[in-house]
Every structure is written in C-alpha cells, then in structure tokens.
Structure 1
Amino acid sequence: MKSAKEHIVVRGCGAVSSLGADSETIAQGYLAGKPAITIIQHQGQPTPVASLPPTAEAALQALISSNSGYRQLDRSVHLAIFAAIQATTQAGWLNQGTAQQEDLAVNIGSSRGATGLFEHHYDAYQLGQLSSSSSPTTTLGNLSSWVGHAVNAGGAQISHSITCSTALMAVANGVAWLRAGMANRFLAGGTEAPLTDFTIAQMKAVGIYSRLQDDLFPCQPYGISGQNTFVLGEGAGVFALEKALSTELRTADVIIEAVGFGFEQITSKTGISAEGQNFQRSMRHAISHLGQDDNQIDAIITHSPGTRAGDNAELAAIEAVLGDKLPSLTTNKHLIGHTLGASGALSLQYALHLLSSQQITTPGYTNLLPTHTSGPMRRILVNAAGFGGNAASIVLSIV
C-alpha cells in the first residue's frame, strides 16, 4: 500500500507593513491598489518611503509597552515579534500554555539587522556615553532569540542574512528542518526597519532611489518612466510551518510545494546579469521539484525592486524559463516599497492573499505585466534576489 505523501503546510501567517498590521486591512490595501507610500524630508530632499500607518504604529507601540524588556530592542526586532505572535496565534500554537515548546524552531532573518539601534549607539559612542546594552541588542542573533522568548519556542533559534533573499531562505530552512525531522514546527520569516537617515542615504548613494515623489506611484516596477524608482519600506512577515500527510490536509490549506536557489558570479556592485542568471537557476530549480505532469505556474510574484537593471533582468529570466507560456506577473513593491530582508516574506503573504482572493489588482502605470484571468490561481511562484548574485524561488499551492 502506497504511503501518504508528506507536505509542508502554512498553518499561520503574521505580517506588518505600510499596508497595515492585520490580514483584513492588508487584504483591503491589496484590492484597492493604492500605494501606501508617504513623502518625508531627508537631507533637505523630499523622499518617498513606505512606513507603518498610524493604526499599525499604535499596535506596535502597544506591543512594546507590554514588556519592559522590549523597550531596549531595535525596531526590526519589534516588527518580527509582532508578526510572529500573529502567526503563532493563527496556528493555535500560543494556546498551549507558557511552557517552552521544545519542538518549535525559529529562523528570522534581516538584511540590515538593528540598523536604527546601531546608529543610536554609535552617536552615543561619539559622545562617550555608550550603553552596556549596545552589543547584545545589535547582534543578528537578537532577532530569533527575542521572537523565541515571545512565543515560548524552545527549539533551534537561527538568525541570518542573505540580503534581500533572506526571508525566502528562512522559509527554505524551515522546509529542510521539518523534512529532516529536526523540528516538528517551525517559525520562519524576515524583518526590516531601514527607514533611518544613514540607510536611506546608502540607497541613494547606489543611484537607484526614486525621484518620482510627486507621482501617484513613486515606486514603479516594470514602469515606463525610464528611471530607477526604488523606494525603501519597513515591515516583517513570519510563517508558522509544520508537516502534514496528504490525508491530514484541509480544504484551502496552502502548502510549500518547492524551493529553489540560484547564484551567479558578481559582475557589478549589485550582482545581477542582464539575463538574470540567478533568477533563471532558482526558478528552474524550484519548478524541477514539481514533476513534469503537473508543473503549471499560474502567477509569479516578482522581486522587481523598481530598478531598470533588476526589473529587466528578472523579466528576461522569466521569459527564458517559461517562454511563451507566461503566467500572470504581479508585485507588491509599488504599494509597500522594498523592505529588503523582509520583502520575500511580504511577497509570500501577498501570495496567500492572491490564493484566497483570486484577484490581482493591476497598477495603472504600466502595461508590461501580463495578467491572465482565464482560470483560477492554484499555484504561485515567488522570487527574491539580493546583492552578491543570489536568488531564491518558492512555490506555494492551495489544496
């Protein structure tokens, strides 16, 4: 008798971004298709950023006030804890008392880590007033350990950075650990709080930051302006993952069908070729795990940071891999900006929204993204890529 197949199921999801801090508000934001981007003054220049709206900020501050230990932490850790509590609550994992859950592992990543706190402590250092908390609250491991405390996780706690592919790599780690039996449940995701003076200046120094502050869409992935339109955003996304047999799956469960990785040799400071070789490899790697009899991709959520080189490379890679069988292509960065290490997680959360709503709201600034509505979206591929030539792809499907 053939044994039932094992699957990796998304049991819970938590997300916070410029669209909001709860699933209903975020879903409404996606359906409305209105950018959640505001304009601030940065070094005397009007600069678009995607920061938390007042309601989400109030919810985050309430969390910080709930635990005296949280006040010393970086905003990136606050965002991660907020999203992790949402994910574990949805999964029903926080209803098991206060004892440590030894079978629950955590992997939270970030591209930049404790950016705001680093800058704060460096300013204090220059004044000869460095706090004893500066080191323990700015280590990268600080991310997963505090999330672990918040959700009573007693298993492995991993923090890492692979730039903008960070969150997808965390989810891939979760898949591997669960399949290997090294954990029974796994929290995976990414977080970023990069809206600081120095980090914004760094992005401007790369020469990619949007100057379309007067446009309805300051960030325009696959736009026709001919400009770089990168906009920095903040947020976090965390997923509660566990294994389930085919016989244990429920209607509308979402499973992680495949993960793929790609890498190319660095030829520029951002590490991406015109052909998007890293994307080609990661997508082919992921799709190869689907099998030849049923490997149709219904939609792709692109990485597309709003830069000419990055957007064109990814589109070239998609065309090279899928040829004339292009599925719907969509993105969320025109709404929430680029959240760096959290971007892949927020794209996965967007995929959950699409699988639920079965509706893509097309931005009005471009006609370059094909959107097909002839059939249901059952399987979605999510891309992410980062500095250094790396890329990752994850395939989600709905039962």
Structure 2
Amino acid sequence: MSDDNLILIRGRGSISALGLGGNFSASSPLPAFSSRSVGSRALPVAGLPAAAEEAVTALRHAHATYRQFDRTVLLALLAARQATTQAGWTPNADGGLGVSIGSSRGATGRLEQFHADFLADGVVAAAASPLTTLGNVASWVAYDAGAHGGAALSHSSTCSSAFQALGNAVAWLRAGLAGRFLAGGAEAPLTDFTLAQMQALGIYSTFAPQQWPCRPGAGAPSTFVLGEGAAVFALEKISRAALAAARAAGDTSPQFQLESVGFGFEPIPSKTGLSPDGQHFQTAMRQALRQANCPPAAVDTLVLHSPGTPAGDAAERRAVEAVFQSENAPQLVSNKWLAGHTLGASAALSLEFALQILTHQTWPAPPFTTYLATAPTRPIRRVLVNAAGFGGNAASALVSLV
C-alpha cells in the first residue's frame, strides 16, 4: 500500500502439538500425534506434548478464576503472553491495546461438559452461559493482558476465523482506533463429540499416529487429522520514518511486516464443499496481493490451507495455479502434517509457520509423497498464507521481512 505506516509483528506466541513456540528447526521431526478412542475407533490426534500440557495446568491453577476456563481460553492466554513478552509490552490501561481473537467453536470442552451435566441431573450451572460464549475467549485475553478499556473482538468464521480476527485488527490499526493489537486464533477441539463430528464427515485419516497421519497434498485417501493449539501476534502500527530511525540507531533485529489480509467468498450449495477451482481462494489471494501492491512473482513461498482432503487440496492447488501463472510461482508448503488441523486456530498457526520460514530460511521436508516443496530454492522474503472454512469463505495473509 502507499500508506507511510507499516503494520509490524512485534512479537508472536504459539502452543500446539509442536509445543510452546512451535519451533520446527529439527531437520528430521518426529510425528507429534497420539491416539484418541472415539466409540469403537481409535483416531489420530495432534494434542499437546508434556511440557506444553504442564504449562496449561500451571496456568489453570495460577488464578482461582482461571480454573473455570475452557481449554481454548487457556491456550489463547499462553500464546498471548508469549507474544507480549517478545514484543516487550507491559500491561496498560490506556485503551491503546486491542484484542482480536478467532475461534471456530470456542469453549468446546466446557460446553459439552455443561450439557452432559444438564442431561444427567437437569441442573445448569450459573457460570455455563458466560463461560461458553465465543466472546469469552477475547475478553479473557484482554483481561490477562491488562487491556482494560480497549477493544476485545471475537470472530467465528470456521477455519479462517483467525484471519478474520487479524484482518479486523489491521483495519482498526490503520484507522487509528488503536495503537497496538493482540490478534490470532485458539481452538481446543479434541473432545469426544467434536472428534465424532469430524469422523462423521468421512474425511478422517486412517493412518496410525506414527505414520504421519495428516498428509496434505498426497491425494487419496483423505488424511484429515484434528489438532489443538493457539497462535497470537503482537501487532503495532509504525511509520517508515520511525523504523528507519530505529535502524539508524543500531536496531538490526529482523522485522516482520503484515502487509495485507484478503478475503474471498463463494456461494455454494453445500456448506461443507467448495468449487473445483477454489474461487474463494482465488479472490482472497488476489485481494491480499492487490492491497499490498505486490505482483504474484514477488511471493516466494505459499503456506497452503491444505487440510489433507483430496477435494480441498486439489481445489486450492488449482486456485494457486490460476493466480500464479508463472514459472516463478511460489513454493508450496504446509504445517498441518506437523500439527494437524486446528480449525479456528489453523490460520494463525500457519502464519506462525510462515514467520519461522522467514526466520530460518528453510522448512522440514515432508516424509511422504506429496507436491509440497522439500526445500527452498531461493531466498525467502515474502510468504502468502491461505485459510478457508465451511460456508465458502477463504482468507489470505501476506507477510514479509522488512
């Protein structure tokens, strides 16, 4: 954009099957999947490793109120704390810090438990409603961050929810309605009922946990695997002049710019389907590129949504081919084979993956046959990230080194 201001990612935090921070630097990662029994079947899932689980438990018992929280809220709090610490932000009460969090389902575990209790004894706890609203996630992140008086925005647009939250935060920042924002997504869907829903769709992977059960870009059979996690980003608007002055003063730290967030929608008869050529993906990618005045050839890497379903993967790849009609098309990568599909948190975790790619200038090679790239073939300066969800919606975020 021609704007003299930049939206910088000053800090980031995440928690997923890859642990706290989600570092993928190991050249030969091990599968981070386990097995969960649902009815008569054992399903692979991407749950938290032991150290991350300990962090969740410690947070739950650190504050009397937090013991009531759904797991989704706790994951969001842990990711947000990492982001604010990395950004060097301290709690403030001046209204300058906003919060925008996406979650497809919100307080899944608490909602299911409250409902089970009601079916068992006909009694509903007084805390049931306030602890299970979708706004509950963003409001508690704001409380924990000390963002009293600022915006606390919640978004639910299935699996692109985190980018809906990110795009709203960018709009607020560009409009001058806030100076800083915590934005991202969180999801803790590894509950019996949610897993049964995913299994009922007929897309769940039949591979064992140690066989890399989620295989985006591998074709049939479907290899969808559910995961849990959160990623939150500390966003700040800064002028180009201020950034230049900081660098002139000796600040040589790498800076990540969130250039744009684009959205796409296609009206489709099936709320779980999408067009064969991924029209919503095409619209979202083109909008993100247009907002940033970025030619397609300037994108080095593309983090696919790639849920591991043959139809979904194929439609997204056709959409990419339609937008990037060049021999300089970006290399295609995915993080779902590492951390599963985390629904409303997936876009945020994909963006965190993109930032790690920009930092390390590499990514781990998938240990299965796929069209995903195994290693970069050129320096990586700019990464586009895709997300999509039920209902025909898609979103794309463009991030770069500045």
Query: Considering the TM-score relative to the shorter chain, is it more than 0.5?
Result: yes
Structure 1 residue 386 and structure 2 residue 382: aligned?
no
Tell me the residue number matched to 1:297: 299
Structure 1 residue 124 and structure 2 residue 123: aligned?
no
Tell me the residue number matched to 1:200: 195
Tell me the residue number matched to 1:16: 15
Distance 1:283 1:30, change over 3 A: farther
**Residue 246 of structure 1, CA deviation:** 1.4
Distance 1:259 1:214, change over 3 A: closer
Tell me the residue number matched to 1:58: 54
Q: Which amino acid aligns with 1:136?
A: P
1:69-88 aligned within 5 A: 69-88=65-84
Q: Secondary structure at the match of 2:127?
A: coil
1:67-216 aligned within 5 A: 67-94=63-90, 99-126=92-119, 127-154=121-148, 155-213=150-208, 216=211
Q: Which amino acid aligns with 2:68?
A: Q
Distance 1:298 1:137, change over 3 A: same
Which of 231, 234, 241 is the equivalent residue of 1:240? 234
CA contact (8 A) 1:165 1:392 kept: yes
Q: Secondary structure at the match of 2:23?
A: helix
Q: Which amino acid aligns with 2:141?
A: V
What are the superposed Cα offsets for residues 121-175 of structure 1, whole Å, 9 maximum, x if unpaired? 0011111232111011001111111111101002011112011000011111111
Tell me the residue number matched to 2:264: 262
What are the superposed Cα offsets for residues 24-69 of structure 1, whole Å, 9 maximum, x if unpaired? xx22466433331111222121210000011100011111111110
Structure 1 residue 38 and structure 2 residue 34: aligned?
yes
CA contact (8 A) 2:33 2:210 kept: no
What are the superposed Cα offsets for residues 60-107 of structure 1, whole Å, 9 maximum, x if unpaired? 11111111101111110111111111111111112x5xx524110111
Distance 1:105 1:79, change over 3 A: same
Tell me the residue number matched to 2:6: 7
Tell me the residue number matched to 2:364: 361
Q: Which amino acid aligns with 1:9?
A: L
- Give the whole-Å Cα distance in 2 for the aligned partners of 1:62 and 1:182: 35
Give the alignment's Cα RMSD to 1 decimal: 1.7
CA contact (8 A) 1:4 1:247 kept: no
Q: Which amino acid aligns with 1:311?
A: D
Distance 1:45 1:294, change over 3 A: closer
Q: Could you list the runs of 4 or more consecutive aligned residues of structure 1 that deviate by over 6 angstroms after TM superposition?
A: none
Tell me the residue number matched to 2:276: 274
- Give the whole-Å Cα distance in 2 for the aligned partners of 1:332 and 1:257: 21
Q: Which amino acid aligns with 1:130?
A: V
Distance 1:287 1:53, change over 3 A: same
CA contact (8 A) 1:302 1:331 kept: yes
**Residue 6 of structure 1, CA deviation:** 0.6
Q: Which amino acid aligns with 2:222?
A: N
Tell me the residue number matched to 1:326: 329
- Give the whole-Å Cα distance in 1 for the aligned partners of 2:348 and 2:294: 28
Q: Secondary structure at the match of 2:141?
A: helix
Which consecutive unaligned segments of at least 5 residues does structure 1 have? none
**Residue 373 of structure 1, CA deviation:** 2.9
1:298-313 aligned within 5 A: 298-313=300-315
Q: Secondary structure at the match of 2:211?
A: coil
- Give the whole-Å Cα distance in 2 for the aligned partners of 1:390 and 1:332: 20
The alignment covers a number of residue pairs equal to 390
Distance 1:293 1:340, change over 3 A: closer
Distance 1:214 1:143, change over 3 A: closer
- Give the whole-Å Cα distance in 1 for the aligned partners of 2:294 and 2:16: 37
Q: Which amino acid aligns with 2:48?
A: L
- Give the whole-Å Cα distance in 2 for the aligned partners of 1:332 and 1:373: 15
